[in-house]
Every structure is written in structure tokens, then in C-alpha cells.
Chains A and B, each alone.
Chain A
């Protein structure tokens, strides 16, 4: 019997997670290996040189560039306030003086005698990188960033929008079959990560944004709502930079889909704890899936099953991921080797699945995913 392999998303009650945090430019790392960090700890910072502003003093004052140095009131390296005078002409008999004011606050960087241009630079802007998750620094990337390690509950979603955010987990529905509706969201949800059930609508999402909800984790969402929410039709699944005031993570897919019971129970068991979530998704080879990371302390037991990831055998728990049984859970009842004909008349390799209600169905092997116990 050929070994059957099928992809699956990670849902681990406790796992060791490592996150690389890098500055966009070289800068200074503020922590050391072994340091304990909070999710909002700034681990590295850099300063970006301010923008340059060119001012043609010769043109404005109406004098040759060579004459400008004598008219300058500032020398290279001097700080500048906005509207502070940079240079002033001699005028006529001391009257009718022309002045040039600085259009920005910053520094007088240089003056070019050939072109008559003064180079002004705005103050540098700080750029910082936070740890993203509560944990421990296990590696430092010199002048660039760090690797943070945390022991955490880890749930991968199938698709998400919005970037990194943090908040306290709150169970917002009673069970994984329930829709997260607008009436379940109020001011008390501000700053929270809501765990929904089967579905969230565009209207509910908008209310969540207005209420200051940081993130929603739910089973399903409509593609049409996604288009309305983003304002465009997403072509290739490369997300994470949307700035919509909320991060949305789908655990199952598009449409109304009950969140897998294991996922729901696990997330709800972490209610009240701080979670770091990221909706960034890239569905291509070298895939990136959205994630929920809930750091836990040593008292929380549980370990990731090392098991043979991806192995599918008789008895393996699975979820069907395509119509007509989309979303139904069961276990592998048989793995026949022969190709079988589907309703489409295509002949493919199949498996027999036994659903929770003991009913059975034949589905293509390609249309199931393993569920981690």
C-alpha cells in the first residue's frame, strides 16, 4: 500500500514557536540572548535619515550662488526650526530685505556654491521592532534583529487578512456552529481577539472595527464580503498588509463553515489569555498561513505530537474539504488501491470515510485533510 500523504494545518495545544524579528534597515538590537520579553517589548530600533528638502537660495534671493555664503544665517549642522530664517539679502540701504525661511524643522546639512541649493534634512524617524510574542530571546541577528522563542498554543488558519496584532482572547459564541453576529459585539470587546464559530458577515466585521476589536478568528467568511471589505477582488492570496483596523483569520474556508471542534475548544480554553495573531497569508509554494499564538506558562501541560505528520491510514481522523461533504469530519474507513469512478465520471484514487453519525461516503483522497489529534 502506497503511503498516503495529505496536507494539514497545525493545531497544537502546546508547541515551541520561534519568530524572527528583523529591522528594515541595520540598527541596534536592544536585547540579549536569554532575555525574557513581552509581546510589546521593543527588541531593536533604528533611525531613518530624515527626508531631504532642497531650497534654491540663489533663485529666491536673486543673487549669484557665490554671494550666498555671506548671506547665510545658518552653518552646516545647525538645527532648524520651521520658518526659521536661513538666509537674508542685504536689501537696499538696509531696507527691503529678502529672507528665506526654512520650510521644515530639522538640520541645515549643506550648501552648494555652484547650484545655489541648500540641503535641509528633516529629523530622523525612529523605527522599532517589537517581540510580537511573549517569550525568550534565543538568537540575535547582529545589527538587525532577534529570534524570539515561546512555548505557546498554536493554531494555523487557512486564510487571513490584516497584519500582526495582539489582544486578550474572548469566546464570542457558544459553539463552533454559531454565527458571530453583530449583537454579540459591544464596547467590552474593545482590544479583544474574538473567537467566532461558523461565520461572520461584512456588517458584523464593520461593527467589530467600530468597536475596537483587534481580531476575529472564525470558521468561514464570504468571498463577496471579502471583496466589499477590501474594496477590490483579491487575485493571488498574498495578504497581511491590509490596513482595515482588524485582523481576520478563517480556520476553515469561504462560506458558512463550522469551526473544527478541536480548534474551537482549544482557543476557548485560552479565554482571558493574551494572544498574538497575524493574518498574513501567502498561498504559493513556500506557503505562509495565518496564525494564533497564545504563549502559555510551564504549568500548562501538553506537548506537540511528533507523530508521522502527513501520514494517512485507516482510522486517521480527517475533514472533507470539498463539496458535497465539505466540512464534515470523520475517520478513514478504507483506502482502496484501485481507481474509482466519481459522479463526474473521472476515475481517481479514493478513500472511504466514516462520519461521526456512522454514515459512510466515498471521497477522492485529494479532498480530505488530516486533523491533528
Chain B
């Protein structure tokens, strides 16, 4: 086969719930998205083969294009230079392994056990069990529990440096006896991270090296008074991306499919973990535009948050994978973590608690279903707000500069809000917030996505909001590795949907009181005056690509980024929603009373025309 330019690209992303396929072609000199298909991910019985979902999603593209993309036997993607069928290159990302579920071990449950738990939680894992020398279980009970729970990964800590060795080795013996097997992925060893007493490292290696993929990292508790969670946390991230997510059934076959011909030789394109691919794109945007960016990808099992903020004058990229927060597999965990009241507070109608709980639980046990009624959609978007909020809490705690001991404490402290000064995340400095994932990308109205992003991330000052149009950032991330130009063109023209700027003054005041006044010089040459009132939201129509030079005059004590009461001059950019003026105050607090809260939620939703009018009669 002769070398030829790649003009037809098929890329898939195998999420924990849905497998998405996109077709990109070069037409009239530029790469554009042509169509997309999707199908439920097939890692569960009866298929238990991730490629089945891929075939179904690509089959949708065949239906829509009226052209052949699968091989004749329908058992693969056709890659070749036949112009009438197939593509020039096929590539994929995957997160079909679902969330990260870990068992951690430490000598003393309330000390190294807790530190290990914090490290795992900080890496976004669900901690299924804390095994400790003093946890009251017999040796064989610990062994049985490790086997029964089938963790994706084990973090073993124990002992300060120079402290106990015997107990640490005994914990390693428990793990050895359990001989833990991965949930799937025959022929690969379960990752075990050892982050305990350095004096015991050799003996632990002796116990575990042959039965596990052992990685030894610095002690998470080198001395009693200090935690050092970073190295273990980073290794958890790394192993999750490289090993766990790569083990979905059928993954081996998928790896063989992904590639293209270079001359006559077949060259594989490695499957990239979804969060890694999205992260690449977020970094690319921040670098290209020289701005502070946050991105969030809310999936079925995990919610990944990405950010680029300055640390000591240099842009720093951070990524967190909250493997316990998502919209399907992890949806009940959102309820358990956030509490029912926090989910209910976003529902703009009255709803029976038992009914809501059952709906959420039914989504968990049947993860691939979609809301068919408006009521169900609004409930899902309420849950999404809490998943996004909690993922941001975790990200704030982890995206810190390397300055001191306190910063090495992570999510374990997130919930008691003891220290936040070290975080790099600064919502007032944030320039661009990008949302991705089914619940954001597929929100029937873009204004719903804008509301979800604003309610959960609570941006301050002036922030541009955007969403991934059809949830294709993962595929573009992997494409950027092979064909950066194609990735950039499709990202700019077809992927990033600019919703519009959000103007949110920091400060609080009485309902209806003026928070700020705006003078906008509109693109048509006219001048428009607007007022942001506390407790209100409104939208100023301004289209995609349109800008309005605006002076904003905040009220006394109100800050828009230059300090309390100080005016700012800014170019407000429009989008498919328009410029959103959010006068709900920062910090943003919902009204406490039920009827006032519902009234306000409805009022704000109507201000953004987020739902069809029918939603006003729901719950009556």
C-alpha cells in the first residue's frame, strides 16, 4: 500500500456506560466531524467484550452514512485505502474498566491505615476496606475479605521509617495469601503499591513481587507527625490509567484493531485512557491561548477534573480522577457522599423522597438507561450538580503547590474544610470552564449545561463557559497524538461549543439589591445598559464569536476580580446561550425554605429558558 495522506479517521471512546464513535474526514482542505454513533458499553455479561459495543457504535455510523466501515465479517473496523469503504486510521480511548476500587492496609488502623485511606481517596478511589494489624479480624478473615471484594489495586502502608517491620511484613503475608486476582484481565497482575516503612521494603518485595505488580514508593507516613501522600497518590493515578482501565474484557482485541498502514506495514495506535486524552486537550487549549482553564468530564463511573492555574508564575496542569463519582455505576455513591438533601435542593419541584431514592438506585443497577421524561432529566441533572461539586472539592484539595507539610494532606481533610489556602484553584482567575461527559454534552438544551456548570463550580468574576458538543474530547485527545492538525481543527470547529461568558460578582446582598452595573458596547454599534441584581439571573443575547466591550461597576463590597468595589473593563464574549449575569452572590447559598427555594430555582431556570414550560407543573 502506498503512503497516502490520512483523510478518513474513525475514533471511539469506550466509557464505562457508553461507547462513542466519531467519523472525521478531510473535506475541502479541512478536517471536520462528519457523524457520530453510540451504543452501550459491553463489558458486562452476556457480551463481556468491549469490542462488541465498538462494533455497535460503528454500526450506527454505517447506518447513518450508508457506507461500510466494518470488515466483511463484521468483526473489526476496516482500515485500508479502498475509497468506497472503511477509514485510513482507527484509534480509541477507554475508561471501560469503570471506577477505581481499592483496599488499603496499614499497621494501626487509626494511623497508617487512615493515611493510606487518605492517599487512596485523594487519588479519587473508592476505599472498599482498610486492613490493619489491629482491626480485630483474624488472618484468614482478612484474606477472605480481600478475595471477596476484588479490589482493583491495593495500597499497603505501615510503620514509620525505622519503625516496626514485623507487622508490615505480616500485612504483606495477608496480601500474598489472598493472592488477589484482577476483576478482569487474565494474565495481568494486580497492582500493589507499597508505601510503608522503608526498612521493610525488601521483605515486602520478597513476599509480593512474584504475585503482584508491585511498586515501591516513599513512605506515606515517614514520621508520626507528617504525612507524605503525594508519591503514593500519583502512583495510584498512574497505575489506574495504565493498568486497571486497560483491562476491560476484549481490550486486547481492541488494541489490535487500533492503527493504520504506514507503507505496507501495520502500525498500532496505542489505546489511551480517557482522562489522559481529555487532559491533553485541556493542556493544549491553555497553552495555545495562554489562559487559566478548567475542564470536567463527568462519566458513568468517574468524574475527572483538569485545571491549568499559575504557581509561582508558571502554568501548572493538574488532574484528579474521582473514581467514586459518576452518573451510572457511581450514582448511588453521589447520593451517599452528598446526602439526599443536597441532591433534592436542586430539584425545582416537590418530590417524594422514597421515589427519588428508588429512581437513583434503579439507575445504579441498570447503568445504561437514559431519562425519557422531563422529571427524570431534571433529577439526573440535580445529581450531576452534586457529583460535579464534590469532584471540584477533591480537585481543590489536590491541586496544590509544593510548599509545605499541610499541603500533603488531601481529600481526607476536604470534608472538614480545615485548610484550603494552598490550593492553586482560583475561581476568580478562571478564564475558561469546559464541560464534557454525557450529562453535560447531551443536555437537550445548552442552557442546562451552563446552569449545571455554574451551580456546581460557582465561577466568580468573568468566566467563559463551554461544552464538548457531542462528548468527543477523549477521541480528539488521542487524535492529537497522531494528527495534531486534525485534532485542533475539529476541536475548534465542531467540538468546543462556546456557551457564553458568565459574569458573577463576589459578595452578597438583599434580593433585588444592585450588585453591579454594566455598560456594553454591542457588536452592532449600540450601547446596552444592564444591572446585575442580587438573587437574580438573566441572559443578554450575544452570539457565538461576538464580543462586547463592557465596563462593569460593582457595588460597594462587591468584587469582580480587581478588588471590592473596583470597576473592570472586559470583552464579554457570547455563545449559544449568551452572556449570563449571575447575581446569586458568592458564596452562593440556596434559599433555606422549601417553597422559596423551588420558586427561585424555577425563576432562574426560566431566566435561562433551560426547560420547556411544562417543568413548572411538575410535582403538582
**A is bound by B:** yes
Report yes or no: A5 in contact with B143, Cβ–Cβ below 8 A: no
How close is A43's CB to chain B, nearest CB, in angstroms? 16
**A220-265 contacts to B (CB < 8 Å):** 222-224, 226-227, 233-238, 240-241, 253-255
Chain A, residues 75-93, CB within 8 Å of chain B (1/0): the string is: 0000000000000000000
A283 CA / B56 CA spacing, docked (Å): 22
Contacts of B335 in A (CB 8 A): 233, 235
How close is A248's CB to chain B, nearest CB, in angstroms? 14
Pairs across A and B, CB under 8 Å, 19 listed? A3-B55, A5-B42, A7-B46, A7-B47, A25-B143, A223-B358, A224-B357, A235-B333, A241-B148, A253-B361, A254-B358, A280-B148, A285-B44, A286-B183, A287-B44, A322-B370, A344-B374, A344-B376, A345-B444
Known A-B contacts A286-B184, A344-B444; A254 and B362 likewise in contact (beta carbons under 8 Å): yes
Report yes or no: B442 in contact with A346, Cβ–Cβ below 8 A: yes
Instruction: State whether the Cβ of B367 lies closer than 8 Å to any Cβ in chain A.
Output: yes
Report yes or no: B99 in contact with A284, Cβ–Cβ below 8 A: yes
Stretch in A113-121, A167-175, A182-190, A363-371 with 4+ CB within 8 Å of B? A363-371
Known A-B contacts A5-B53, A5-B56, A285-B43; A254 and B140 likewise in contact (beta carbons under 8 Å): no
Report yes or no: A2 in contact with B140, Cβ–Cβ below 8 A: no
Instruction: State whether the Cβ of B226 lies closer than 8 Å to any Cβ in chain A.
Output: no
Known A-B contacts A236-B101, A254-B358, A284-B98; A322 and B369 likewise in contact (beta carbons under 8 Å): yes
How close is A200's CB to chain B, nearest CB, in angstroms? 14
How close is B108's CB to chain A, nearest CB, in angstroms? 18
Contacts of A51 in B (CB 8 A): 138
A363 CA / B376 CA spacing, docked (Å): 14
- Report the nearest A residue to B445, measured CB to CB: A345
Report yes or no: A323 in contact with B333, Cβ–Cβ below 8 A: no
A199 CA / B353 CA spacing, docked (Å): 18
Instruction: State whether the Cβ of B208 lies closer than 8 Å to any Cβ in chain A.
Output: no
- Beyond A241-B148, A285-B248: 18 further Cβ-contacts under 8 Å? A2-B56, A24-B140, A24-B147, A24-B178, A25-B143, A223-B357, A236-B101, A238-B101, A238-B128, A238-B149, A254-B365, A322-B376, A323-B373, A343-B372, A344-B377, A344-B444, A345-B612, A367-B369
A98 CA / B167 CA spacing, docked (Å): 33
Stretch in B59-67, B304-312, B521-529 with 4+ CB within 8 Å of A? B59-67
Instruction: State whether the Cβ of B330 lies closer than 8 Å to any Cβ in chain A.
Output: yes
Instruction: State whether the Cβ of B301 lies closer than 8 Å to any Cβ in chain A.
Output: yes
Contacts of A345 in B (CB 8 A): 444-445, 612
Contacts of A4 in B (CB 8 A): 56
A240 CA / B129 CA spacing, docked (Å): 14
Report yes or no: B332 in contact with A235, Cβ–Cβ below 8 A: yes
Instruction: State whether the Cβ of A108 lies closer than 8 Å to any Cβ in chain B.
Output: no
**A260-299 contacts to B (CB < 8 Å):** 280, 282-287, 289
Report yes or no: A237 in contact with B177, Cβ–Cβ below 8 A: no
Q: Chain B CB within 10 Å — which of A48, A284, A337 has the most?
A: A284
A253 CA / B99 CA spacing, docked (Å): 22
**A321-373 contacts to B (CB < 8 Å):** 321-324, 326, 337, 342-346, 348-349, 363-364, 366-367, 369
Report yes or no: B149 in contact with A2, Cβ–Cβ below 8 A: no
Contact of B372 among A24, A235, A324 (CB under 8 A): A324
**B327-377 contacts to A (CB < 8 Å):** 329-330, 332-333, 335-337, 353-355, 357-362, 364-377
Instruction: State whether the Cβ of B144 lies closer than 8 Å to any Cβ in chain A.
Output: yes
Q: Chain B CB within 10 Å — which of A127, A233, A366 has the most?
A: A366
How close is B529's CB to chain A, nearest CB, in angstroms? 34
Contact of B145 among A235, A241, A255, A326 (CB under 8 A): A241
How close is B353's CB to chain A, nearest CB, in angstroms? 7
Q: How many A-B residue pairs have CB under 8 A?
A: 197
Report yes or no: B183 in contact with A5, Cβ–Cβ below 8 A: no
Contacts of B371 in A (CB 8 A): 322, 342, 344, 346
How close is A199's CB to chain B, nearest CB, in angstroms? 11
Contacts of B96 in A (CB 8 A): 285
How close is B60's CB to chain A, nearest CB, in angstroms? 5
Report yes or no: A284 in contact with B372, Cβ–Cβ below 8 A: no
Instruction: State whether the Cβ of A99 lies closer than 8 Å to any Cβ in chain B.
Output: no
How close is B117's CB to chain A, nearest CB, in angstroms? 15
Q: Chain B CB within 10 Å — which of A24, A25, A238, A342 has the most?
A: A24
How close is B526's CB to chain A, nearest CB, in angstroms? 32
Q: Which residues of A contact B (CB under 8 A)?
A: 1-8, 10, 22, 24-25, 48-49, 51, 125, 127, 158-159, 222-224, 226-227, 233-238, 240-241, 253-255, 280, 282-287, 289, 309-310, 321-324, 326, 337, 342-346, 348-349, 363-364, 366-367, 369
Instruction: State whether the Cβ of B16 lies closer than 8 Å to any Cβ in chain A.
Output: yes
A138 CA / B373 CA spacing, docked (Å): 50
Report yes or no: A310 in contact with B47, Cβ–Cβ below 8 A: yes
Report yes or no: A283 in contact with B329, Cβ–Cβ below 8 A: yes
**B3-46 contacts to A (CB < 8 Å):** 16, 37, 39-40, 42-46
Contacts of B184 in A (CB 8 A): 285-286
Report yes or no: A322 in contact with B445, Cβ–Cβ below 8 A: no
Contact of A344 among B149, B337, B359, B373 (CB under 8 A): B373
A224 CA / B335 CA spacing, docked (Å): 12
- Report the nearest B residue to A362, measured CB to CB: B372
Contacts of B47 in A (CB 8 A): 5, 7, 309-310
Contact of A235 among B39, B324, B358 (CB under 8 A): B324
Contact of B43 among A49, A286, A367 (CB under 8 A): A286
Contacts of A348 in B (CB 8 A): 370
- Report the nearest B residue to A322, measured CB to CB: B369
Report yes or no: B177 in contact with A24, Cβ–Cβ below 8 A: yes
Report yes or no: B362 in contact with A322, Cβ–Cβ below 8 A: yes
A158 CA / B354 CA spacing, docked (Å): 19
Report yes or no: B177 in contact with A25, Cβ–Cβ below 8 A: yes
Contacts of B367 in A (CB 8 A): 283
Contacts of A226 in B (CB 8 A): 361
Contacts of A238 in B (CB 8 A): 101, 128, 149
Report yes or no: B126 in contact with A322, Cβ–Cβ below 8 A: no
Report yes or no: B143 in contact with A366, Cβ–Cβ below 8 A: no
How close is A203's CB to chain B, nearest CB, in angstroms? 15
Report yes or no: B365 in contact with A253, Cβ–Cβ below 8 A: yes
Report yes or no: B370 in contact with A366, Cβ–Cβ below 8 A: yes
How close is A367's CB to chain B, nearest CB, in angstroms? 5
Instruction: State whether the Cβ of B52 lies closer than 8 Å to any Cβ in chain A.
Output: yes
- Report the nearest B residue to A281, measured CB to CB: B365
Chain B, residues 123-144, CB within 8 Å of chain A (1/0): the string is: 0001010000000001111011
Contacts of B365 in A (CB 8 A): 158-159, 237, 253-254, 283
Report yes or no: A284 in contact with B56, Cβ–Cβ below 8 A: no
A197 CA / B376 CA spacing, docked (Å): 26
A238 CA / B301 CA spacing, docked (Å): 14
Contact of A236 among B43, B126, B375, B612 (CB under 8 A): B126
How close is A369's CB to chain B, nearest CB, in angstroms? 7
Contacts of A255 in B (CB 8 A): 355, 358, 362
Q: Chain A CB within 10 Å — which of B53, B301, B368 has the most?
A: B368
Report yes or no: B374 in contact with A343, Cβ–Cβ below 8 A: yes
A254 CA / B364 CA spacing, docked (Å): 10
- Report the nearest B residue to A50, measured CB to CB: B138
Contacts of B249 in A (CB 8 A): 285-286
Report yes or no: B358 in contact with A5, Cβ–Cβ below 8 A: no
How close is A223's CB to chain B, nearest CB, in angstroms? 4
Instruction: State whether the Cβ of B86 lies closer than 8 Å to any Cβ in chain A.
Output: no
Contact of A323 among B145, B330, B359 (CB under 8 A): B359
A125 CA / B140 CA spacing, docked (Å): 10
**B507-523 contacts to A (CB < 8 Å):** none
- Report the nearest B residue to A324, measured CB to CB: B373
Instruction: State whether the Cβ of B575 lies closer than 8 Å to any Cβ in chain A.
Output: no
A235 CA / B121 CA spacing, docked (Å): 14
- Report the nearest A residue to B37, measured CB to CB: A2
Q: Which 5 pairs between the two chains have the least Cβ-Cβ distance?
A: A2-B59, A286-B183, A345-B444, A235-B336, A235-B333
**B563-602 contacts to A (CB < 8 Å):** none
Report yes or no: A236 in contact with B330, Cβ–Cβ below 8 A: yes
Report yes or no: B353 in contact with A240, Cβ–Cβ below 8 A: no
A24 CA / B333 CA spacing, docked (Å): 30
